[in-house]
Structures are given as structure tokens and as C-alpha cells.
Amino acid sequence: MRGMTTILITGASSGLGAEMARQLAARGNDLALCARRTDRLDELKGQILAAHPERRVELRALDVTDDDQVFEVFGAFRADFGTLERIVVNAGLGKGAPLGTGRFDVNRETAMTNFVAALAQTEAAMEIFRDQQAGHLVMVSSMSAMRGMPKTMTTYAATKIGAAYLAEGLRNELYGKPLGRTVKITVLYPGYIASEMNELARDKATFMVSTEKGVAGMVSAIEKEVADACVPTLPWAPLSLVMKHAPLGVFKRLM
């Protein structure tokens, strides 16, 4: 997909979503941005238009756990622009508690936001792409999807592999078919990229990179329409092999 495109980003009010919006606008793309916090979206739109007054930026409030609203908002954005070339399923939560410690409510909230809501977004996106006979679905997963994770990360990691498998299953379905040549699927596996979600871990996380650097790797992978990418590539691409295949004792020491 070359040249200017219209890109819908969920969870665009902060963190990786907001920085993707800034960088994609700088590369000549129009934006459909949605999130629960519309005041943040208004502020972001102002920043983007101040830097790139020729861009078009449309905003809508969206709680991705409201299934009906997901379909309504995606459809309304398509009506705004006529077509949506890319849809980035980005909204997510980083909450979690060790299983069996009395915080099912926290784990359920993460599961509903990161997986069930990702399913709703993927369904809505694919309805549009099937109708258009073209599009690019980008699923933001996580390096934690490489292996079952312990303690507070257990549910989060499970949701992120689930979201990745939604996208991979679509790629499998479309492979070798006419629609597979015009609908592209990308799964991103970000490592430690500074954001509001992992603010408490910034001082402890090895390999943490700035939001700008991490998102630059994500945007590069999106524009290349790769099937999947660990970002930043170093150290996460080689580490993904270690995470997947290291004996459990070695893996626990790494974590």
C-alpha cells in the first residue's frame, strides 16, 4: 500500500496509539482516531494539525468493550472517509494478578479488553475490508505472547497470543485466495517500549526504549506490510527464539 492512506487507530489517546498517530501523520496519512478519553484525542488532534495542517484527522469516542459501539464507530469512520485502508487494533490493558489470588475481576477486565474486544474490532475491520475488497489489518500483540508468563503477566500474555492468533488465522484463511492479495495482515510484537501502560516498570525493565524509538519500529513494519515483527528488532527478534524455546529454568531466570 503506497502513498497516502487513511488509518484507523483504536486506543489512540495515549501511549503507543498516540505516538503512532503522530508518526503516521508525519508520513502523510489521514487518521481516524478513537478512544474513551476524548479530551486526550482533542489534544492529540491539535498537536497533529499544528505540525501538519494539510492532514485530515477525525475523532470518535470508543469503549472497545462495547461491542455495538465498535461496529458503529468503525462504520462511521468509513462513511467519513469513503474507505479505510488500514485499521490498527491497538487498544489494550496491562492489568493482571496471579491466578487464584482473589482478583478474577482484574484478570477478566484484561481478558475482555485485550481479547474479546480485539475480536470485535477484527470482525468490524474485516467486514469493511471484505466489502472494499482491500485493506490492511494491524494487530498489536506483545512480546509476552511468545510464552506463557508468570504472576501478574499470566492473563495479559494469554490475551496477547489470542489476539495474535486471530490475525494469523485470518492470514491462513486468505492465503492463496484473491482477497489474500489485497487484504494484508500484520502482527506486531512490541517489547519494552515506554508508555503509560508500563510506567511503573520503566526503572526495572531491561531493554526499555523510548516511545518514539519503539513506535518508529512499529510504523516501519506497518508501512512494509510485513506478516509479523518483533519491535524494536534488536534485541527482541533474537530474544523471541530464546523466549519460545529455552528450558523453563533458563526462561524463569531471564524473566
Determine phi and psi for 34, rounding to 5 degrees: -140, 150
Q: Are strands 135-140 and 6-10 parallel, antiparallel or unpaired?
A: unpaired
- Identify the band that residue 226 occupies on the pLDDT scale cut at 50, 70 and 90: very high
Report the C-alpha gap between 15 and 9 in whole angstroms. 12
Amino acid at 79: A
The verdict on whether 156 is a catalytic residue reads yes
Query: Predicted confidence band at 204 (pLDDT cuts at 50, 70, 90)?
Result: very low
Convert the pLDDT of each residue in 125-154 to its tens digit. 999 999 999 999 999 999 999 999 999 999
- Decide if pLDDT at 223 tops 50: yes
> Helix, strand or coil for residue 88?
strand
Contacts of residue 83, defined as CB under 8 A and 6 or more positions apart, other chains included, come to: 6, 132, 134
The torsion of the CA quartet 183, 188, 194, 198, rounded to 10 degrees, works out to: 110
Contact between 126 and 174 (Cβ < 8 Å): no
Q: Is the pLDDT of residue 93 over 60?
A: yes
The predicted-structure confidence for 19-49, as pLDDT tens digits, reads as follows 999 999 999 999 999 999 999 999 999 999 9
Nearest alpha carbon to residue 113 among 77, 73, 150, 155: 155
> With contact defined as beta carbons under 8 Å apart, do 189 and 240 qualify?
yes
Residue 173 has pLDDT above 50, yes or no: yes
Percent of the chain residues topping a pLDDT of 90: 85
Residue 249, classified by CB atoms within 10 Å of its CB into exposed (0-12), middle (13-18) or buried (19+), is: exposed
What pLDDT is attached to residue 250? 81
| Mean pLDDT, range 87-96, rounded to an integer | 96
**Mind listing the domains of the chain with CATH numbers?**
6-254 (3.40.50.720)
Catalytic residue among 156, 165, 175, 189: 156
The answer to whether 64 touches 114, Cβ cutoff 8 Å, is no
Q: What is the pLDDT of residue 104?
A: 98
Helix runs in 27-153, H state only = 38-51, 67-81, 104-111, 117-132
Which residue type does 101 have? Answer: T
Taken as a whole, the chain contains a residue count of 255
Over residues 75-82, mean pLDDT: 98
pLDDT band (50, 70, 90) for residue 197: low
Cell 462504520 maps to which residue?
75
Adjacency order of strands within the sheet including 228-231:
57-61, 30-35, 6-10, 86-89, 135-140, 183-190, 228-231
Q: How far is CA 132 from the centre of its chain?
A: 22
Short-list 18, 16, 116, 134, CA closest to 70: 116
